[in-house]
Structure 1
């Protein structure tokens, strides 16, 4: 029997309450073309080599899913799941995504993406996947700009049990501190630190992508 080629899943975290932009929800905010932030983020991810793409929902799940489905340029439609205990913190949302990715035997790693980072491009995602598949013995891959690491972060399957065991609202930050020296690095631009989680940043996002 032919063994399936290893692949990398993308897990998009989209379960948060967006309290810093309340009453607006950042993932529903439109860019200059009217495309919601979550859909803009997914456009680059679904165009990449990542497969499957898993979107983890929680707060206002139905609205976020509807907004994420507005883009007609998606060639690789994502899978939507809901983290039942998302209110317990980012770690539980991440665990739901890792659990879903684990059901695919060919998945050798998972790229953890944040729903509010729409400037991350397909090229960076593909370069991170290529770097990981070339060095599958590493814990994962991080993007770096001017000596600083950012998001997304790619974790190898060997790290899945540790990711599932995380608690609280810090996500995988403790694991990053522990394993960063052993992770592969991929050069990136300032977009790896650019999120949109304040009213001023949402106003900036509303002016972006005017050319489509």
Structure 2
């Protein structure tokens, strides 16, 4: 088996933001989703981006950056379907580190440390900043079936809760693990 694969969830609807937040430029001009993708790829060169439509601007951004795109035709059904779609698109791997495209401030080193914590196929790993669990969340290869069958908008939260005894928190001083951009004022 290889090392974990990064899965960037970029199929969201941006309802609270008002426009497509994933295309919104950060102060340096980089679109939000592309910044998140670059950080994930720096940590895990084997990364795929899950998008809602093959011909969307977000899909084009990812392709132009050299990131393979997986289209989730059921994206409107929620994050769970995007996780399942991304996991099923990967060959057998040592696990997955699932990152959100609206969290562009996570340092690549934090992602590396989460991936490194996947020491066996039954481990779940997540960063913890000032005592709060953040993102991205890593899953060992033993969670393939559970992840590949996800539906709905809860993502993998139920898997983490069900296996909380297997959750390894990785302490970090990276506040980006908690900085989720949902509304314009979050920037």
Which structure 2 residues correspond to residues 119-198 of structure 1 after superposition, within 5 A?
A: 119-132=105-118, 135-188=119-172, 189-198=174-183
Q: Give the structure 1 partner of residue 104 of structure 2.
A: 118
2:76 is the counterpart of 1:94: no
Deviates more, 1:136-145 or 1:170-179: 136-145
Distance 2:168 2:139 in 1: 10
Computing the radius of gyration from Cα coordinates, the structure with the larger value is 1
Query: CA RMSD of the aligned region, Å?
Result: 1.7
Distance 1:41 1:144 in 2: 18
State the secondary structure of the residue aligned to 2:159.
helix
* Distance 1:30-1:54 versus aligned 2 partners, 3 A rule: same
Q: Distance in 2 between matches of 1:169 and 1:182?
A: 23
Size of the aligned set, in residue pairs, is 186
Which secondary structure does the structure 2 equivalent of 1:38 belong to? helix
Do the aligned partners of residues 92 and 187 (structure 1) sit closer, same or farther apart at CA in structure 2, a change above 3 Å counting?
Answer: same
TM superposition score normalised by structure 2: 0.92
Deviations 1:86-110 (A, max 9, x none): 1111111111001012xx23x1100
- Answer yes or no: is the 8 Å Cα contact 2:136–2:177 preserved in 1: yes
Q: Is the CA contact 2:50–2:86 (under 8 Å) kept in the aligned structure 1?
A: yes
Alignment of 1:53-132 (within 5 A): 53-58=47-52, 62-68=56-62, 77-101=66-90, 104-105=91-92, 107-132=93-118
Asked whether 1:9 is paired with 2:5, we answer yes
SS at match of 2:5: strand
CA distance 1:194–1:141, shift in 2 (3 Å): same
Deviation at 1:137, TM superposition (A): 4.5
User: How much does 1:39 deviate?
Assistant: 0.9
Hey, which bits of structure 1, 4+ residues long, moved more than 6 A?
none
Q: Contact 1:39 / 1:70 at 8 angstroms: preserved in 2?
A: no
